[in-house]
Chains A and B, each alone.
Chain A
C-alpha cells in the first residue's frame, strides 16, 4: 500500500480498482452466480407449469428471490480470499478509515454481481411473461435493491469470514434481514402491473438503501475487527 497521506477518494479508488482487477482475473466468480440466477428462474416454469397467466403473476417474486439467492452465493468471496492471504488484516491495520475501505469493497462486489443481475433480469422477465407495464419497476427496484443486498450481506460475511464452515450460517444470518427489501420490491412490481403509481414503495426502498449505506459499513468494520483477531 502506498504512503499514508492519501485522500479518501484515492483510497476508495485504489481498493475499488484492486477488487475489480482481481474479479476480472477470476471470471467464473462473476459468471457462476449469474448462471445460478438464470437456472433457478428457468426451474420455476418447469415446476409450476407453462401457463402464461400464472407465470406473470409470480414472476416478480421468482426474479427477486432468485436475485437474493444469487447474491447470497456470491457474498462468500467478498472477504474470504483477502482473509485467507492476510491482506484483509493489512487493510484493517492501515491508517485509512475502515469505512472507506469496506465501502469500496462492497461497491466492487455490487459492480461484479449486482449489476450483471440487473442486466440479465429483463431477459428472464420475458421468459416469465412479466406484465409489460412492470419492466420499469423491475429495473428500478433491482437498481435500488441489489446494493442493499450487498451492504447487508457484507455484515453477515464479515461476521462469518473467520469460521471454517460459514456458508450455511451466512444464509441464516442474512436472509431474515433481506425480507423488507423483498416485500417492497415485489409489491412495487405488482403495483406497476396494475398501472398504479409505485413511487411510495420505491421511496421506501431508497430509504432502506441510504440507511444501510450509512450504517452497514460501520457494522462491517466492527465485525471484521472481531473476525480477524
Chain B
C-alpha cells in the first residue's frame, strides 16, 4: 500500500490529481445534495411528534457528525505529519480546519433553530450543544494559530501540536460536559426520543449525508490545492504553472 501511495506524497502529483478529482466530486455533490435536499424538504414524511420541523434533522445531523469527523481527520493528518515528517499532511490539515469550523457553526445554528420550536428556547446548556460549542472554539484556535505564523510550515507544525492536544482533550471535555449537564440540569427539558427511523426517512437522510460528505471533500480539495501552492511557491513546477496562468489571463484580456 505504501508503494502505491508514495507518488501522491509528491506535491505536484497530488496537486494535479486533486485538480482532476474536483470536477467529479463536485458533480457527485450536486447530484446527491439536490436529490437529498429535495427529498428531505418536500417528499419525506413529517415526523409524527415534531411535524415538519423534523426536516432540520436532515441538515443538522450530517453537519454535526461531519464536524467531528473532520476534526478526527485533521488529527490524523497532524499525527502523520509529525511522525513521518509528511509535509502534505500539514497542508491537508490546514485545508480542513475552516471547513470543519463552518460545519460546526452550521450544526450549532440548525440545532438552535430546531431547539426553539421543540424545547421552546434557542439555546439550552445541553451536553451535545455545549460540547459542539467547545469544538467550535477548538477549531477557531487552530485557525487562529495557522494565521498567526508567517511561515506556513511552522504554522502547520504548531497547529498540528494543538490539534493533537485537542483530540486527547475532546473525550475528556465531552465526558465532563455530559456529567456536568446531568448534574446541573433539571428534568424540565424532555429529551427528544430517538425512535428507530423509518425507511422513507432513512433514505433521504443517507442521500443528504453522502451529499454533505462529498461537499466537504470537494471544498477540502480546493483548499488543499491552494495550500500546496502557497507552501511550494519557489518550486519550478509552481513557477511554470503561475506563468502559464498569467499568459492565459493576458490572452483573455486581449
Contact = CB atoms under 8 A, between A and B. Distances in A.
Direct contact of A and B (CB under 8 A): yes
Contacts of A150: none
Given A169-B144, A180-B172, A208-B172, A175 B137 contact: yes
A179 B145 contact: no
Interface stretch (A4-12, A20-28, A159-167): A159-167
Interface stretch (A48-56, A83-91, A119-127, A221-229): A221-229
Nearest to A171: B141
B133 to A, nearest CB: 9
B229 interface: no
B254 to A, nearest CB: 45
Nearest to B131: A179
Q: Bin the interface of chain A by size.
A: 20 to 34
Contacts of A175: 137
B24 interface: no
B176 A180 contact: yes
A226 B140 CA distance: 20
A162 B158 CA distance: 11
Interface string B135-159: 0011011001100110000100110
A222 B161 contact: yes
Say whether chain B's binding surface is mostly helix, strand, loop, or mixed: helix
B185 interface: no
B222 to A, nearest CB: 26
Contacts of A215: 168
A173 B148 CA distance: 12
B169 interface: yes
B177 interface: yes
A208 B171 CA distance: 12
Interface string B155-179: 0011001101110110011011101
A179 B173 CA distance: 7
B183 A160 contact: no
Given A159-B162, A219-B165, A226 B172 contact: no
A37 interface: no
B154 A183 contact: no
B180 A177 contact: no
A176 B172 contact: no
Contact of B141 (A163, A173, A183, A222): A173
Interface in A140-172: 155, 159-160, 162-163, 165-166, 169, 172
A63 to B, nearest CB: 17
A179 B125 CA distance: 14
Most A CB within 10 A of own CB, among B137, B164, B172: B172
B144 A183 contact: no
Given A160-B148, A163-B149, A183-B177, A176 B165 contact: no
Interface in A9-67: none
B141 A179 contact: no
B154 A179 contact: no
B138 A176 contact: yes
B154 A176 contact: no
Contacts of B138: 176
A166 B141 CA distance: 12
Contact of A172 (B140, B149, B168, B177): B140
Interface of B: 82, 134, 137-138, 140-141, 144-145, 148-149, 154, 157-158, 161-162, 164-166, 168-169, 172-173, 175-177, 179-180, 183
